[in-house]
Amino acid sequence: MVFLNGKMLPIEEANISVLDRGFLLGDGVYEVIPAYGGKLFRLQQHLQRLQNSLDAIRISNPYTGAEWEQILNDLIAQDSSLDQSVYLQVTRGAAAKRDHAFPDKVTPTVFAMCNPIPAVAETLLQQGIAAVCLDDIRWQRCDIKAITLLANAMLRQQAHDEGAAEAILISAGYALEGAASNLFIVDAGKIITPPKSSHLLPGVTRDLVLELAAQHQLQHVEQAIPKQQLEQADEIWMTSSTKEILPVTTLDQRPVGDGKPGPTWKKMIEYFSLYKQQLRTGQH
């Protein structure tokens, strides 16, 4: 069952208008929220980011926080024994005719569904992933979690074409984030991630990694990462809601550090797993 405009219904019966501005113009925003053992991960942070994205494109939030929580919990209650991720999206809705400017009276279309989160493959955790540096071809408002993801899709595909799992996006000589993940490096014992700006998505996993670093007294800083520093980093990690924290062990076909997941990543993934375990038992 999926959620569409106030109703739970089978996915085959969930239909929208071909005039929906999400379909015609990519005029909408989304969130992806993991749920571990039936407990939503960092729900308030995800709902706040949704609010920020909606405000940025002038769509009024169709639901209160409590209503969202109810909708999302109803979806994951279909099988709370599994780890799942909820995908939700709000588009501006269907206007009478196709026109770029925002129409006055439209009702947003709200869609949400949940899917099992496949466990991150053990080989990925043992061996890490390959990444390639690519020029950032996206727009100037990457802080909005917009459904308009063509550039991200092209970049991820180019990475796959080059035998890599993720692209690290470079703009004006600086490494910003991945096609669908945030970027961390470890340099001389210090964890570094680029500061929030309109050039990257403020990742919820990113913020938790910074919190865990502070809590466990690991040196960390939010600082711009020149491409050259990325290339010489001892460790590189990519973070996202569904992939958690993945170690990058090959960058542009060269090994990162000694080519194996690094010691700081090992600590961080342990703290992260502990956090998830605590979430399952209702401690967060």
Catalytic residues: 145
Question: DSSP per residue over 90-110, as a string?
Answer: EE--B-SS--SSPPSS-PPEE
CA 131, CA 199: separation in Å to the nearest integer?
19
- Nearest Cα neighbor of 12 from 95, 81, 113, 117 is 113
Q: State yes or no: residue 201 binds ligand PLP (CB under 6 A).
A: yes
Q: Which contiguous run of DSSP H or E holds residue 13?
A: none
CB 30: neighbour CB atoms within 10 A? 18
Minimum distance from CB of 181 to ligand PLP (Å)? Answer: 5
Distances (CA, A) of 89 to 62, 70, 140, 164, 242: 11, 16, 21, 28, 17
Q: Min. distance of Cβ 54 from ligand PLP in angstroms?
A: 16
Quick one: tokens of 68? 């969202």
The span of 10-18, 79-87, 201-209, 273-281 binding ligand PLP (CB under 6 A) equals: 201-209
Position among 206, 235, 265, 271 found at the interface with ligand PLP (CB under 6 A) = 206
Applying CB under 6 A, which part among 11-19, 97-105, 197-205, 265-273 lies near ligand PLP?
197-205
Size of the site for ligand PLP (CB under 6 A): 14
Least Å distance between CB 241 and ligand PLP?
Answer: 3
Site string for ligand PLP, 30-59 (x = CB under 6 A): --x---------------------------
193 binds ligand PLP (CB under 6 A): no
Residue type, 12: E
User: Which among 8-16, 62-70, 155-163, 178-186 is the span making contact with ligand PLP, rule CB under 6 A?
Assistant: 178-186
> Considering the complex, what minimum distance in angstroms separates the CB of residue 159 from ligand PLP?
13
Pairing of strands 166-171, 109-116: unpaired
Q: Per CB under 6 A, does 95 bind ligand PLP?
A: no
Euclidean distance between CA atoms 216 and 207, whole angstroms: 14
Q: Which residues bind ligand PLP (CB under 6 A)?
A: 32, 152, 177, 180-182, 201, 203-206, 239-241
